[in-house]
Structure formats: structure tokens, C-alpha cells
Amino acid sequence: MGVFGVDHHSGQLVMSLTGHSDGVNAVAYSSDGQLIISGSKDGTVRIWSTLTSQEILSPLRSSNGSVRSVALAFTGTAAASGTEAGVVCIWRLFDNQSALQQLTGHSGPVLSVAFSSDDIRLASGSGDCTVRTWSFETGQCLAVLRGHTEQVNAVIFSPDSGTLVSGCADGMMRLWHAVTGSFVVADLHYDIHGICFSPDGKRIAVASGSAIYICDPKDGKMLWTLPEKYRNTRRSVAFSPDGQSLVTAQGKTVWSLTRPWLLVKPSWTVLLEHSSIVNSVAYSNDGLYILWASNDPIIQVSNAGGQKKTFSPLEGHTSSVSSVAVSADGSSIVSGSHDGSVLVWDAKTGQQKISPLKDDIRVLRVAITADMRLIAWASGNGYIWLWDTRTARQAAELIRKPSKWNFRMLHQLGISTSPLSFSPNSQWLACDFALGKAAVLIWNVAKRQPSTFSPLHCRSSPCAVAWSPDGRLLAAGCTDGNIHLWSAATGEPLAEMFCANLGDVESIGFSSDGARIVSVATNEVHVWDASNGEQLHVIDCHGECVHSVAYSPNDRFIGGGLTHGIVRLWNAETGAVITTLVGHTDAVASVAFTPDGRSIVSGSTDKTILVRNVSESESSGRLGSATLNGGWLEGLRGELLLWVPAPYRQHPKMYLCCMLIKSGHAFVVKIGPAGWHCGENWISCWGQDAANFVSCTSYLGLVL
């Protein structure tokens, strides 16, 4: 396998290990990540190389029935397994594998085995309700630890080897002194299937019959547990090497949780969904990959990074979320819904900051001033409401449009949104003149009066409005596919209409320098030159309807909300897809970037708001838009990214954040917060369709 792969291919299969003839009960990595051990119902233990994905030894057999648990010594020189017959087996891998050492004493199947980090002791947990510790050197039984009332499903040593933890089907977790055998009992009330320590030894994660628990290793007290609505049987759990994430198996699904003990609501990532029950999961030592085994005979390795499906919803609305906005300092998120409410959220904690703001009819669009003093929302009855955040009450006057339309008439017109946008200086509010009318109205926020030069007339009804970041320009997208651009100071038209002629322009936005405009009409995203109306390029969405678009603050990305619950990031210069975020279960009606560009907020008709981190897409966007020039892959600004040796320059192809060299070999660069990573012996790299594998063993690239 080697060190390869890309964060943004989360959950994608990297390697399959075939050889077992029956379901695989347990898998584990060696401490250096070079070996994988597996134990199967077929009665064999197999040792695999992660560099070649091949077995390095003949299958290890003990004739003691199904292998229920496995472990590798920290030196990687020995392996242990627990068997159905109650025998603990030890193999010295590189001395004489035929010299099998069998440790007897248990009267039930050995369901878990673990080495201490110093390789002095080996622990085993059994269906006979006992835990045993053994001398790794001599095989002598050092202690029999009693007290559990049902089968012991999990045992593990602390990183310093001083504490041994065991978990039982009766819900009891016991923390034993590894030498004296004294213990502390923690009653978690649910049968325990898996236990692991955080790398620093400060937390214990427990996978139980209903949830994931985080416990204090000093006294076993519970520090955090999964909220009730997310609970279900968990079979296995593992900490990432940096201690920031957990991976767990639930039925046929493998999940990842990011720092759950620090969050009010858990942040979930569905890494993969399998066709059979997943029995065991483990992280590689570098945290890039997840090893997993199931009731089928194949062991698989998948990428650990990125997001396939993320569950960190801001839940509170009872109907479709129609619009979201982020405050200028990134501290607050405002959302409006067809349930007639406007909610204000703390962007860090996900909690509501104030009581819901209620309307009598559906809220179609929300906006917040740059100084965060006022929140505005447009409702389906033709009114715009202002809320003063400093006084925590409705502004003294109601801004009323010249004509009043009810929501039924709105639907008859085919209009689903009401354009609304504050100017960057918070002094002006742009909206449509009247629902269904072909004009844009600009209000003086302080005076609650229209400007002297509005309304600004259009050929058809405006669907979306946006101000340039410097406040000099105002753009409107209309139902006939045209875009109008005016001087915000005088109301004079500045450029001819952009003729998209693709139907309603549902969303529009400026780049941070005001030089470009992005718009969406039906299933195409258009990028325009704001100075002359020239179309720069079109992003083909392949028939997928896009409802909302926005530039990232650094102008590298365009984010879009799509019909099938998808949020997509495109390279703003080339239109190439950078990443696709799933998680919503229905159409994404609105998207907005946080001011630091690290996250994108999306509101959906599934009644939820999701906040996703997209900061790592910065690196993949650079590689995805690179061009080959004189042997170098160059970034958009001419920066040198990667040297490609001459034999491999003729067939380069970019796939997301992978570079594929179509000459029988492939080269893949790992991109993440730590930067760029590449090296020698790249094995089983991504194929053209990111599903097949090709191999290369030569050195293919150098990153400076």
C-alpha cells in the first residue's frame, strides 16, 4: 500500500486483501504501519505487508477453531491470537513461525488479546468471564482477574502499560493495575464491545451496545456520551493517532467522529457503507487510512480523511430552510425557514443565541448587516422585517413593499425567493420592488425610505441581488436569465445585460475584488467579467440543478448548493470540481462561506443547516488546476508545485487532487494541513476511474 492517497477521497477503497475463506473477525495494524494482522472464522491468522498488499508469511494455523481476536507486538516481531477453543496463541514471526506457543487456561473463547506497549505482558479476555495476563517472554500466566459476570469482549493496556482496561457484556468496565490487579469499576449499563485509549492516555473510548462513551482512565467516570438520537450498537472503536478523531463500526457502516467530547452536537462523517456487518476497525499509524474487516472474507483499507457525509446539523426549524447568512466576523449564522421563523446560531457551538424570530408566513430570504446590528428577512406576504440585535427587538418600523402579495400568488408566478441584500456599509438594503414586478428597490436603512434614484428597472422580475464588496456596484439576476449591473451611488446602468437565456437566475454573487460575478441559472454556473459583461466561462453541472452559488473569500473556489442534498466546490479559475460534500437529504437552497474561508454553511429543504470545513480544499484546488510546463506542474500564479520526470510527462491527467500518469504507472500526492507529501515505492495507486489500481515501484516525483 505505501503512503499514498488523498484526503478528499474519504471512504474510497484503497486496498483489498484477499486470502481468507470465511468472515474476518479482527484486524489490527502494527505500530509502524508496515504490517496488518487478521484473524478469521476459517481458523487462520494472516500477516500482510502494507507496501505490497501481499502476505509476508504462510497462513498461521493453530487447529483451535475460529480466530476471534488478534494483536501484534509493538516491536512487530510477534503476533497473538485468541481462539474459539479458549487458547491464546503466540507466534515469533521472524524466528521460526512453526514454533507455535499455546497458552491455555481459559474455559471459553478468547474474545480479545492485547500487548502492553513495552511488550512485557499480554492480556486476554474470555467468554469465561475472566481476564488473564501472561508473560510475553515465558508464556507464564501472571494473574487471573475475576469480577466480570459475563463474557469479556475487550481488553487493552494504557499507553504507559500501567493500566489494563477490560469491558464486559454486562456493561461493566474495569480498570486494573497491570501489576497488582487492583481495580476500579465503571458501570456503563450497556454491553461493551470495544475499548481503546487515546494516544496520550487521557481518555478511554468505549463502544457499547447503544453508544460511544468517553471515560476518564483515572476513575472510569463518563466524560461524554453520544446523544440519544444517534445511539445504536457499536462493535469496534479506535482513536486516530493524533487523538482528535474516533472511528467506529455500527452495523454495516463505518463512522468517524471529530473531537466529539468538545462539541455540543457530534460531528459525524460516514466513511463507508458495506454489504455485511463490520466487525473490526483500526487507524493506520499515520492516520491516513482505516483498516476494516467484516463478515465477508475480504479485508479492506479505505482513506480516512475528508468528508463523505457529514452530520453536524443545526436543528431547530420544522420546515425547509430557505436562506442562510453569516455575520462579517463569522461568529453568527442566521437562517430563515418556511416554518416562518428566523434563527440566529453561534457558529462555534451550534447553539441558538436568541429566541426564534417569528413571522406569520414563510421566510424566503435573510440578510445581516456588516456591523451585525440589523437582521432582515423577506416573507411570502410581501413584507420585509428588520430586527435590531442590540435592543433584541423588532425595529420600530416595518419596511413594506409597494404592493402586497400572498404566498399563493407567489407560487403562481413561479418565484420561490425574494431577493434581499445589505450593502457592505450597512446603510442600504436592496430588494425587489414588489413580488412579481420588474424592478429593484434600494432602501435607506436609517430613514426607512427608498433612495431617490430607485426603483431600478429590469426587463423581468429579479430573483437575486448582490452588492460588490466595495459597495460601488449592484447586480440583479432576473427570471429571463439576464443580469443587470448598476452604479450603487447613482443607479446608472454600467454594463449591458448578460444574456444567459437559461431561465431564472436564482443566485448571484461577486468575487472579493469585485472583478467577477458568478450566477446560476438552471443547471449551469456562469462566471462574468463585471467591467464589461463578458462571459469568462461556464461550469457544466451535468444536468444537476443548482440553487445557490457564492465565491469563497479568497476567490479560489465557487461553492454551490444542488438539488440532491449536495454542496459542491469548483475551482473558480477553471471550473474543475474540487470536492463534493454530501450530508443533506434534500435540496440545498442556500450556501454561504464564513469570512475566513475555512467553512461553508448550507441550508436545505431537509430542515437543517450544515457547517463543513473546506480549508483543506485549498491545497487540492492548487493541484487540480495545475498545468504541466517544462516538466513542472505550475499553479495558477506560476508557482512550482511538482517536478515530473521526463518519461512520465506525455500522459498526465488531473483527477481531483490526484495526478495520474497514463503510461502504466501512477503518481499520487497526499495533500493536507501539513502540506505536500510524496515519496518512494508508490504501490497500488489510483487508476483512471479512481476504482482500479495500477502499480509503480520507481521514484516518480519530487516536491520542493
Query: How high is the pLDDT of residue 231?
Result: 55
Q: Residue 220 has which C-alpha cell?
A: 472510569
Write out pLDDT tens, residues 137-189. 999 999 999 999 999 999 999 999 999 999 998 888 999 999 888 887 777 66
Dihedral sign, CA of 148, 154, 159, 161? positive
DSSP assignment of 385-415, as one string? EEEETTTTEE-SS-EE-SS---HHHHHHTT-
Q: Does residue 702 lie in a domain region?
A: no
Please, which residues bridge with residue 247 across strands?
238, 256
Last residue of a domain, one of 261, 288, 306: 306
**pLDDT at 6 > cutoff 60:** no
Do 520 and 571 fall within a single domain? yes
Is the predicted pLDDT of residue 507 greater than 60, yes or no? yes
For residue 4, being part of any structural domain is answered with no
**Cβ pair 703, 641 in contact under 8 A:** yes
Which residue range is the domain that position 181 belongs to?
A: 9-306
Q: Tell me how far apart the alpha carbons of residues 364 and 417 are, in angstroms, rounded to a whole number.
A: 5
Q: How confident is the model at residue 227 (pLDDT cuts 50, 70, 90)?
A: low
Query: So what's the pLDDT on residue 414?
Result: 32
Q: Are residues 104 and 159 in the same domain?
A: yes
| Domain membership flag for residue 576 | yes
254 with 400, same domain: the answer is no
Q: What is the pLDDT of residue 560?
A: 93
Q: Would 703 be classed as within a structural domain?
A: no
Residues listed for the chain: 704
Same domain, 572 and 659: no
* CATH number of the domain enclosing 276: 2.130.10.10
Judge if 258 and 354 occupy the same domain: no
Grid cell listed for 216: 476518564
Q: For 648, phi and psi rounded to 5 degrees? A: -115, 15
Q: Is residue 1 part of a domain?
A: no
pLDDT score for 242: 82
pLDDT of residue 541: 79
Q: Is the pLDDT of residue 281 over 70?
A: yes
Question: Per-residue confidence at 701, pLDDT binned at 50, 70, 90?
Answer: very low
582 and 653 both lie in a single domain: no
State how far Cα 131 lies from the chain centre.
38
Q: Is the pLDDT of residue 394 over 60?
A: yes
pLDDT at 234: 62
Q: Do residue 159 and residue 294 come from a single domain? A: yes
Q: pLDDT of 96-105, one tens digit each?
A: 655 689 999 9
Using CA atoms, how far residue 567 sits from 561, 591, 593, 610, in Å, is 5, 8, 12, 10
**What is the distance between the alpha carbons of residues 148 and 121, in angstroms, rounded to a whole number?**
21
Last residue of a domain, one of 599, 615, 631: 615
Own/partner pairs for 177-183, CB < 8 Å, 24+ apart?
178/116, 178/121, 178/133, 181/143, 181/145, 183/145, 183/147
Same domain, 454 and 387: yes
Positive or negative torsion for Cα 347, 350, 355, 361: positive
In a shared domain, residues 232 and 153: yes
d(CA 521, CA 545) in angstroms, rounded, equals 8
**Is the pLDDT at 397 greater than 70, yes or no?**
no
Backbone angles phi, psi at 408, to 5 degrees: -65, -45
Same domain, yes or no: 277 and 346 = no
289-344 tens-digit pLDDT:
888 888 888 888 877 754 444 445 788 898 888 889 998 888 889 999 989 899 99
Q: How many CB atoms lie within 10 A of CB 614?
A: 23
Domain match, 248 and 361 both? no
Q: Looking at the structure, tell me whether residues 158 and 268 fall in a common domain.
A: yes
Q: Which residue has the cell 483451535?
A: 64
Per-residue pLDDT for 643 more than 80? no
To the question of pTM greater than 0.75 for the whole model, the response is no
Best-predicted range by mean pLDDT (25-39, 453-467, 519-533, 599-613): 25-39
pLDDT given for residue 52 in this prediction: 77
pLDDT tens for each residue of 431-461: 887 655 688 888 888 887 888 887 888 888 8
- pLDDT value of residue 534: 85
When mean pLDDT is compared across 241-255, 595-609, 668-682, the lowest value belongs to 668-682
Q: For 652-694, what is each residue's pLDDT tens digit? A: 433 333 333 333 333 444 433 334 444 433 333 333 333 332 2
pLDDT reported for residue 704: 27
Amino acid sitting at position 470: D
State yes or no: pLDDT of 84 exceeds 50: yes
Burial class (CB in 10 A: 0-12, 13-18, 19+), 109: buried
- What backbone phi and psi angles, to 5 degrees, belong to 463? -105, -25
Q: State the cell numbers at 222.
A: 463518563
pLDDT value for 230: 53
pLDDT, residue 395, reads 52
Average pLDDT over residues 529-547: 84
Structural domain contains residue 197: yes
Q: What is the pLDDT of residue 273?
A: 67
C-alpha closest to that of 614 among 669, 658, 562, 657: 657
Least confident of 175-179, 489-493, 502-506, 649-653: 649-653
Residue 700 within a domain: no
Lowest-pLDDT range of 18-27, 214-223, 496-505: 496-505
The mean pLDDT value for 374-389 works out to 83
Percent of the chain with pLDDT over 90: 29
Going by pLDDT thresholds of 50, 70 and 90, the confidence category of residue 204 is very high
Instruction: Name the more confident of 358 and 45.
Output: 45
If one counts the domains in the chain, the total is: 3
Torsion of CA 649, 651, 656, 659, to 10 degrees: -40
The answer to whether position 631 is within a domain reads: yes
Mean pLDDT of the chain: 78
What letter does residue 148 receive in the DSSP assignment?
A: -
Q: Among 606, 597, 506, 501, which residue's Cα sits nearest to residue 548?
A: 506
Please say which residue of 281, 306, 331 terminates a domain.
306
The pLDDT tens digits for 542-577 are 777 889 999 999 898 899 998 878 888 888 888 887
